[in-house]
Structure 1
Amino acid sequence: MSGALSHIRVLDLSRVLAGPWAGQTLADLGAEVIKVERPGSGDDTRHWGPPYVKDAQGNDTREAAYFQSANRNKQSLTVDFTQAEGQRLIRELAARCDVVLENFKVGGLKAYGLDYESLKAVNPRLIYCSITGFGQDGPYAKRAGYDFMIQGLGGLMSLTGRPEGEAGAGPMKVGVALTDILTGLYATVGVLAALNQREQSGLGQHIDVALLDVQVACLANQAMNYLCTGRSPKRLGNAHPNIVPYQDFPSADGDFILAVGNDSQFGKFCEVAGLTALAGDSRFSTNKARVANRDELIPLIRQATVFKTTAEWVQLLEAAGVPCGPINDLAQVFADPQVQARGLRVDMPNSYGGVTPQVASPLRLSATPVQYRNAPPTLGEHTAEVLQRLLGLDSAAQAQLREQGVI
């Protein structure tokens, strides 16, 4: 079957994570995605190792695992667009594409004639998505933006980490570059919306996506807690600001998560845990009361949970209809029967004769399912094919460009 976006061609000028994540999502949905990279070096993340992908003999290649996380189903084209001939190639490709993705600093591509207005002149139907740290305007627009920095500036780290007064207290970033990932997903949504609108107008448009905007938008209920009260939420570790008990608890062999979402579930938990008196206690009988009295309730629960193993708690609480779960490391994640049943690991043959493991797309479309067509490409793997197929450049013309260092 053809993918849902098999009629769409994307020119991906982005690098590192946010832009490439958007490009990979579009590629997974069937779009033809041409990743433009610098000759000789390519995307910075190709070198962000170890670890590296293995070849047929099990030896490390030069391809970092980081790069592999965001670049499958793409074609790699090397072009030096600081040169006039390279700029010409990019403009000619943009004329034949539906979407351009880029994450250069504001105005960074204008000097090369590759900004939105310049490419719009050669392709009025072009959808041009710019991903930056702070957006196209405002006092910070010229600044570079990085996930870690944005997690701090955008408030996420003020909410993440152990509370003041506890051992290990202090702000903490999320364990993956979550702001980059969310920005890539918002960029994808914007591209899909613009493609849909183009069906009515026949025209493309410019999409301005900023890491800071995305981070603030994704503060969700915590942002609303602040806006409604004027008080900044504090770090609660693994606890929830609005629901109690909703956090990690110690077990006989580790820790587990208890996620009580309503008063009925709290009563069921108390029955299983032998804490029935707590369910009828006016300090704890409603969620509002439990939030107000969490400092009294949590120690009482912790005293009870240490007498059973995590597996025992999960079995008992699931049977009672109380949400709970283990805290897995990644080895346990990929060994989990549900993860395996959903096929969340995909092994793809790579250009080195080995296999590149991938995390499957979470998108499940019944009529146009995601297809895993090719592993993340080696640097410049598709340069000759793309230039011949789309621009009609024969081997002699390409040889001249190669001699000039353009490709």
Structure 2
Amino acid sequence: MPAPLPLDGVRIFDLTRILAGPTCTQLLGDLGADVIKIERPGEGDDTRRWGPPYVKGEDGEDTSESAYYLCANRNKRSITLDLSKPEGVALAKKLLAECDVLVENFKVGSLAKLGLGYEQLREEFPRLVYCSVTGFGQTGPYAKRAGYDFLAQGMGGIMSITGTPGVEPVKVGVGITDVMTGMYAATSILAALRHRDRTGEGQHVDCCLLDTQVAWLINEGTNYLVSGKVPQPLGNAHPNIVPYQVFPTSDGHLILACGNDGQFQRWCDLAGADDLKGDPRFATNPLRIVNRDALTPRIAEYMKTKTTDEWVAALEAAGVPGGPVNTIDRVFEDPQVKARGMRIEVPHPLAGDGTVPLIANPVKFSGTPVEYRRAPPTLGQHTDEVLGEVLGMSAEEIAAEKAKGAI
């Protein structure tokens, strides 16, 4: 018998959509939680319609499931529940009595209007861990604003240091603030569950995009706090390490990442750059940072003398970090990515060939490996199953709720 997954027995009432919240609940589902995704009848998660591309059906035509939706919704069960109706709210509370965690990303105050706010539920469900994922948090002057990843990247400073100097600010190519907020939320929920299991007390976990993006400034944010100097965009260069950037080769581009003085000296030996190796201006990393403008163009000239593949092989043999800039198709063909199993195929009821390709969870457990138990669900796919299994409702009782428009 395989060991139970870490969160086996934990049930999540998932009131999230788009990316940040679903990233959180997908991670919890990957770890074994029973995630019940609550969706509005006839509508569902907004991202279901965020295509193309869509899953192709047996006829080769687009289905209703977008690739965007697929990216953050595996290992969940979908039920439809109309929370605008008292009957829907009543069913929600019955389900909450059987759940350990509620995760929601409604605007501040919206669920309270339905009687599902944290303060309204805490006495009835004292063990419930209630996690809110919003744009700006539950407090402060921006609390009631709608928040989006793009806004958080701008307001949180990352765009001011991303891209090439002298051009307009650039966002990260994926919704990284959403993703990181989801990860912080998942980690916080695990800690709150640990506390609940020890004390019997649930609590409210408040996660937001802006806070996460400010935290994600990491070294550049701390550089500013310590020095008082406002960081500027450096293109592909690093503020604290030189050389650590992209350089043109004779046939493409390569990342050279010398994280210490020994690696830089070994690169000089590979390149035949005795002039740079012996130059006192470049002897240490702090000196290379001060003299960045003098050093970088000279490194670039040496990098043009070999192809990308020649440099990759030479750098690896010498123990100097470096690598190509892969397009996404090459990422999934990379032998290391293949060896780590980062592409998976999951059975899906709408897919013409029976499965949909997904990106794997990156965490490898020695004793309780991640299981891909469920494909991202179709809208309301598990309504009857969940209500029957979790609440013990009969087919007739479920039909009556449908007739009332609750589900």
* Band of TM-score, shorter chain: over 0.9
Partner Cα separation in structure 2 for residue 387 and residue 91 of structure 1: 12
Partner of 2:328: 330
Does the 8 Å CA contact 1:21/1:70 hold for their aligned counterparts?
yes
Partner of 2:282: 284
SS at match of 1:33: strand
Partner of 2:192: 194
Residue 150 of structure 2 aligns with an amino acid whose one-letter code is: F
Task: Give the one of 41, 54, 57 matched to 1:52.
Answer: 54
Partner of 1:159: 161
TM superposition outliers: structure 1 runs of 4+ over 3 Å: 56-59
Does the 8 Å CA contact 2:108/2:143 hold for their aligned counterparts?
yes
> 2:361 aligned with 1:361, yes or no?
yes
Does the 8 Å CA contact 1:54/1:356 hold for their aligned counterparts?
no
Partner Cα separation in structure 2 for residue 406 and residue 259 of structure 1: 57
Task: Give the one of 77, 80, 100 matched to 2:79.
Answer: 77
Partner of 2:252: 254
Does the 8 Å CA contact 2:55/2:350 hold for their aligned counterparts?
no
Partner Cα separation in structure 2 for residue 58 and residue 376 of structure 1: 20
Partner Cα separation in structure 2 for residue 112 and residue 208 of structure 1: 19
Partner Cα separation in structure 2 for residue 387 and residue 104 of structure 1: 24
The worse-fitting range, judged by mean Cα deviation, of 176-185 and 52-61 is 52-61
Shift of 1:367: 1.3
Partner of 2:379: 379
SS at match of 1:145: coil
Shift of 1:118: 2.0
Count of aligned residue pairs for this structure pair: 403
Partner Cα separation in structure 1 for residue 157 and residue 337 of structure 2: 32
Does the 8 Å CA contact 1:55/1:355 hold for their aligned counterparts?
no
Partner Cα separation in structure 2 for residue 77 and residue 174 of structure 1: 33
SS at match of 1:121: coil
Which residues of 2 match residues 168-247 of structure 1 at below 5 A? 169-247=167-245
Partner of 1:19: 21
Task: Give the one of 92, 97, 103 matched to 1:90.
Answer: 92
Task: Give the one of 110, 113, 120 matched to 2:112.
Answer: 110
Does the 8 Å CA contact 1:52/1:62 hold for their aligned counterparts?
yes
Partner of 1:402: 402
Partner of 1:138: 140
Does the 8 Å CA contact 2:87/2:404 hold for their aligned counterparts?
no
Shift of 1:395: 1.8
Partner of 2:101: 99
Partner Cα separation in structure 1 for residue 186 and residue 274 of structure 2: 49
Residue 366 of structure 1 aligns with an amino acid whose one-letter code is: S
Does the 8 Å CA contact 1:95/1:119 hold for their aligned counterparts?
no
SS at match of 2:122: helix
Partner Cα separation in structure 1 for residue 155 and residue 206 of structure 2: 19
Residue 381 of structure 1 aligns with an amino acid whose one-letter code is: Q
Residue 304 of structure 1 aligns with an amino acid whose one-letter code is: Y
Task: Give the one of 38, 42, 45 matched to 1:43.
Answer: 45
Task: Give the one of 30, 35, 39 matched to 1:28.
Answer: 30
Does the 8 Å CA contact 1:255/1:327 hold for their aligned counterparts?
yes
TM-score, with structure 1 as normaliser:
0.97
Shift of 1:285: 1.1
SS at match of 2:123: helix
Does the 8 Å CA contact 1:77/1:383 hold for their aligned counterparts?
yes
Does the 8 Å CA contact 2:15/2:39 hold for their aligned counterparts?
yes
Does the 8 Å CA contact 1:248/1:256 hold for their aligned counterparts?
yes
Residue 93 of structure 2 aligns with an amino acid whose one-letter code is: R
Shift of 1:57: 4.6
Partner Cα separation in structure 2 for residue 109 and residue 257 of structure 1: 48
Does the 8 Å CA contact 1:345/1:359 hold for their aligned counterparts?
yes
SS at match of 2:345: strand
Residue 312 of structure 2 aligns with an amino acid whose one-letter code is: V
Partner Cα separation in structure 2 for residue 342 and residue 60 of structure 1: 31
Partner Cα separation in structure 2 for residue 306 and residue 150 of structure 1: 38
Partner Cα separation in structure 2 for residue 118 and residue 9 of structure 1: 20
Shift of 1:117: 1.9
TM-score, with structure 2 as normaliser:
0.97
Partner Cα separation in structure 1 for residue 202 and residue 356 of structure 2: 36
> 2:339 aligned with 1:341, yes or no?
yes
Partner Cα separation in structure 2 for residue 304 and residue 366 of structure 1: 44
Stretches of structure 2 lacking an aligned partner (at least 5 in a row)? none
SS at match of 1:100: strand
Partner of 1:304: 302
Task: Give the one of 267, 280, 294 matched to 1:269.
Answer: 267
Partner Cα separation in structure 1 for residue 366 and residue 243 of structure 2: 38
Shift of 1:54: 2.2
Which residues of 2 match residues 384-395 of structure 1 at below 5 A? 384-395=384-395
Does the 8 Å CA contact 1:46/1:64 hold for their aligned counterparts?
yes
Partner Cα separation in structure 2 for residue 238 and residue 253 of structure 1: 19
Residue 278 of structure 2 aligns with an amino acid whose one-letter code is: G
Does the 8 Å CA contact 1:56/1:355 hold for their aligned counterparts?
no
Does the 8 Å CA contact 1:51/1:65 hold for their aligned counterparts?
yes
